[in-house]
Structure 1
């Protein structure tokens, strides 16, 4: 048993064989991303999703849901700092935060580093994923037991409709929009217009993860989520960062009816005043750089006309396999 690879040096083919177990995700029809595993720590399934926790050789522990890598130990800080801090720093005094999804706990962890924050609602539909992460992801254990955190198991749309309170910041840490998945409706114009916007306080900021944002992959969903939010909010800022374990550049989109800061020095001042501990990835210059997209992507976003609706949705490429033993 083993993984067989062939190299060709000076015209001589050499066959190499090694025992290995590999994680594999099908990113596109003709493109797969895989890396070696030390072990499979846990596999399970909820009524909504398949769940795996893998110990990988290049990226440490990795959480995989429905065959899609959600986060890896070695670089999840890039994703979560990028998702959380720009929106909170762009609010003058963020006290109440609502997380859609975020069952892993890392988004709550980063929010709770902000000294202004008084209450965080983390609403995830899948209790088994939340309990799984609370038990296995020790880096977030302190966040799960922070008294400012209120954990709710419910559909995020239903929970926002049920509650009368409004929020300073709403964060979409949702699974990618996958055909047949549990949450593509939470990327639609109607949801942004009739649920998100009315639930924000004055000066409120909304941010969502928005899928792959690479030079080729951004047209899957990133560009149309951006265009959809432009139909609803006055100020919309797309930004991106390379995440090694995702094998791509990833995108987020921040939106508000109040002007958003683009000044690196002002962001650095707020980081120093508000955030406990030091960010590993994000500072003022990093955010300004992240929100300066390439010419090709900027042009594509400017020309995007698709509006995301329930009947006219776009999806990222379908599921990969969580792991496989190579024989």
Structure 2
């Protein structure tokens, strides 16, 4: 891995794992450092490193952090943390499911830790959730270590598939009410940046949506200084394929930034505050911790700088003209 993603340990011992993150000298406690940019790092004090290794596709680390609990790091980038992952996953999964008249089936691209499936399975109308992740190792150790998702992994409505999401969608004859992109951020050399391209959305994904179907994807950092890395481009690319597109953001503390999602359909969305609150009460088992009608509606109101960038963005994701966030994948690319 080309990035200086560091683990600072207290025992003055320095070692490295192939091209994976290095472990170097620290003082009072162990630390994980994520390199956000050439001049910016984000550090976490650690209790321990639960798992580390390089799979066929990605560099994978599972940490036990002091501030955020268990944290999944892929290719040097924080994917989710135990204490605040509900923000990311509620924002990803519930807006499309609440906007759909009666969602019965969902296809999750990625989502190996199980949290997105967990949230989808809270909806009473859901009959089947297909979770398709390319990396068996990610799924295996998340299943073992992330206890909050054990029930979801055992749910009979969950169809867990280890495969390339593009191949899986192409080969399946069925269509879905909801398709979710819970993919790693697009980094150069990573396994999934091609799943953010116009050709994939138009030729593979959209034909697999039922009438009134909705697509939603995580879309990377969306802060004042970061939204033009990939967020604005993903939004503009999806606009080329779908008639109705909504971008929304929320602050995720463990990401140290505002985060973005994009929801799209050829059918208008129902995102009125009162109607959404009513559907939450009627259609979801259990209580949401972060999302309600008011918070979702407010999340779609972007600040002037970000909204102007989205309006004026011209870049369209293609296989030969992609944008990447700062970072570098270490595994081999998927067979797209």
Q: Does the pair score TM above 0.5? A: yes
Give the TM-score normalised by the residue count of structure 2.
Answer: 0.90
The answer to whether the 8 Å contact 1:28/1:317 transfers is yes
CA deviation after TM superposition for structure 1 residue 178, in Å: 0.6
The answer to whether the 8 Å contact 1:59/1:72 transfers is yes
The 5 Å alignment of 1:195-234 reads: 195-234=204-243
2:293 aligned with 1:284: yes
The structure with the larger Rg is 1
Quickly say closer, same or farther: Cα 1:171–1:320, change in 2 above 3 A.
closer
Where does the alignment leave 5 or more consecutive residues of structure 2 unmatched? 1-9, 13-25, 331-336
Q: Distance in 2 between matches of 1:238 and 1:64?
A: 25
Q: Distance in 2 between matches of 1:55 and 1:102?
A: 20
Q: Distance in 2 between matches of 1:181 and 1:221?
A: 14
Q: Distance in 2 between matches of 1:160 and 1:136?
A: 29
Secondary structure at 1:232's aligned position in 2?
coil
Aligned residues: 308
Q: Distance in 1 between matches of 2:161 and 2:38?
A: 37
The answer to whether the 8 Å contact 2:198/2:318 transfers is yes
Matching residue within 42, 61, 64 for 1:55? 64
RMSD: 1.5
Structure 1 counterpart of 2:53: 44
The answer to whether the 8 Å contact 1:157/1:195 transfers is yes
The 5 Å alignment of 1:124-135 reads: 124-135=133-144
Q: Distance in 1 between matches of 2:282 and 2:271?
A: 18
Matching residue within 322, 326, 329 for 1:313? 322
Q: Distance in 2 between matches of 1:98 and 1:142?
A: 18
CA deviation after TM superposition for structure 1 residue 152, in Å: 0.6
Q: Distance in 2 between matches of 1:187 and 1:250?
A: 16
The 5 Å alignment of 1:137-152 reads: 137-152=146-161
Q: Distance in 1 between matches of 2:247 and 2:78?
A: 22
Give the TM-score normalised by the residue count of structure 1.
Answer: 0.92
Q: Distance in 2 between matches of 1:52 and 1:305?
A: 36
Secondary structure at 2:112's aligned position in 1?
coil
2:79 aligned with 1:64: no
CA deviation after TM superposition for structure 1 residue 39, in Å: 1.2
The 5 Å alignment of 1:20-31 reads: 20-31=29-40
CA deviation after TM superposition for structure 1 residue 277, in Å: 0.6
CA deviation after TM superposition for structure 1 residue 262, in Å: 2.8
Matching residue within 103, 120, 127 for 1:118? 127
Deviation beyond 3 Å, 4+ runs, structure 1: none
Quickly say closer, same or farther: Cα 1:162–1:320, change in 2 above 3 A.
closer
Q: CA offsets, 1:199-236, max 9 Å, x none?
A: 10000000000000001100000001000011110000
Structure 2 counterpart of 1:181: 190
Where does the alignment leave 5 or more consecutive residues of structure 1 unmatched? 4-16, 322-327
